Amino acid sequence: KKDIYILGLETSCDETAAAIIKNGRDIIANVVSSQIESHKRFGGVVPEIASRHHVEQITLVLEETLHQADMTFSDLDAIAVTKGPGLVGSLLVGVNAAKALAFAHQLPLIGVHHIAGHIYANRLMKEFAFPLLSLVVSGGHTELVLMEEHGSFQVIGETRDDAAGEAYDKVARTLNLPYPGGPHIDRLAAQGQPVIDLPRAWLEEGSYDFSFSGLKSAVINTLHNAEQRKQAIKAEDVAASFQQSVIDVLTAKTVKAAKEYRVKQVLLAGGVAANKGLRAALEEQFAELADIELIIPPLSLCTDNAAMIAAAGTVLYEQGKFEDLAMNGYPGLDI
Ligand code: KG4
Ligand code: ZN
């Protein structure tokens, strides 16, 4: 059987990324250009700045990827690109680059859902065994996704308000930590104790949905009250207490769903998958469940990248699911 080489492009938010993946599993080249420094002083991603950076970076990132792989377009089988969800101006840069390259080099065009990409980052570590459950935790999403086979995604629970990463970033901002706040809270949490009593949103019995806005408000109120009463409160303890509350709910619901759906594997996906506390808590829980395999990608594959997009795109290639040049960027795409 002939090897399949797919070029992936990802520009949905604030990373300009390209990668080449062999047979959906092996990384041949993987390049990410982050814009975080440009957005930091605004405390979040500014859409107009993001799209302008993508336009400036995409050709350079692409050239670097081909150079790393020591390949030309004639070595490729298809071009896969994130078609949504994300910031529309950012998505359009990748989508238009992919369309132009597919047309110019007469290669098939593949449109990938960003979250499918985050899930498939795990296949760069280990072959999938179905059914499997993915805990997807990023800046825009918090979802439990069940997969019975390649390319089939059933959302069994999702956040009703803030995404986990969004809660991290908002709490970080109230603690005057730089954007993106997730890694800073994670670092502080390791130095503090979870001594502050904060809520855990379990929701109705049996629900796999999440809610983080009440927790975020509770943290803000706690800081406000302490300030009013001139009580000293350690940022490390606030971070540890907040993180413990997030982790308790995420791990408990993931374990319950993994058992209920009798899955063979549990995957962790999305930017918040880089969280040290969450990784440790899941590893501890699943160490006791011998018949369920836990897969956690390395940090570089947790945050946005194009290797995951090419990996997910390979499955669509094998299923013959191609796009034509009418493909657009879709900011609010369902998985
Ligand atoms: O997946 P991602 O790179 O972009 C989206 O698709 O949203 O996720 C970014 C999110 C940000 O909210 C960031 O604060 C969070 O992931 N994050 C973390 C950590 N590293 C990144 N959250 C908690 N702990 C971390 N170590
Ligand atoms: Zn992402």
Measure 74 CA to ligand 1 centroid, in angstroms: 36
Q: State the pLDDT at residue 46.
A: 86
Domain 128-296 bears CATH identifier 3.30.420.40 = yes
The secondary structure element, H or E, covering residue 81 is: strand 78-84
Give 53's DSSP letter. Answer: H
Q: State the pLDDT at residue 88.
A: 96
Q: Atom 16 of ligand 1 has which residue's CA nearest to it?
A: 271
Q: Are 177 and 183 in contact (CB under 8 A)?
A: no
For 176, the 3-state DSSP assignment is coil
Amino acid type, 72: T
Query: What whole-number distance in Å separates Cα of residue 163 and Cα of residue 143?
Result: 9
Q: State the pLDDT at residue 38.
A: 83
Q: Is 181 annotated as a binding residue?
A: no
Q: pLDDT (tens digit, 9 = 90+) per residue, 168-179?
A: 999 999 999 998
Q: How far is CA 132 from CA 257, 282, 295, in A?
A: 10, 15, 10
Measure 14 CA to ligand 2 centroid, in angstroms: 9
Q: Is 304 annotated as a binding residue?
A: yes
The answer to whether ipTM exceeds 0.85 is yes
CATH number of 5-119+302-318: 3.30.420.40
Domain 5-119+302-318 matches domain 128-296 at the CATH topology level:
yes
Measure 165 CA to ligand 1 centroid, in angstroms: 5
Domain ranges, ordered by start, for the chain: 5-119+302-318, 128-296
- Cβ neighbours of residue 11 under 8 Å, at least 6 residues apart? 17, 54, 58, 82, 86, 90, 91, 93, 94, 97
What global pTM score does this model have?
A: 0.95
Give 21's DSSP letter. Answer: E
Measure 271 CA to ligand 1 centroid, in angstroms: 3
Q: Atom 2 of ligand 1 has which residue's CA nearest to it?
A: 271
Q: Which residues pair with 16 in a beta bridge?
A: 33
The secondary structure element, H or E, covering residue 298 is: none
- Which is nearest to 14 in space by CA: 94, 79, 121? 94
| Residue ranges lining ligand 1, Cβ < 6 Å | 13, 138-140, 165, 168-169, 180-183, 186, 270-272, 274-275, 303-304
In the block, which residue shows the tokens 């680059």?
97
Q: Atom 5 of ligand 1 has which residue's CA nearest to it?
A: 139
Q: State the pLDDT at residue 42.
A: 83
Edge-first strand listing for the sheet containing 265-269 = 154-158, 142-147, 132-137, 265-269, 293-295
Amino acid type, 174: T
65-70 LR contacts (CB < 8 Å, sep 24+): 65/7, 65/18, 65/19, 65/20, 65/29, 65/30, 65/31, 65/306, 66/20, 66/29, 67/29, 68/28, 68/29, 68/30, 68/31, 69/20, 69/28, 69/29
**Which positions of the chain have pLDDT values less than 50?**
none
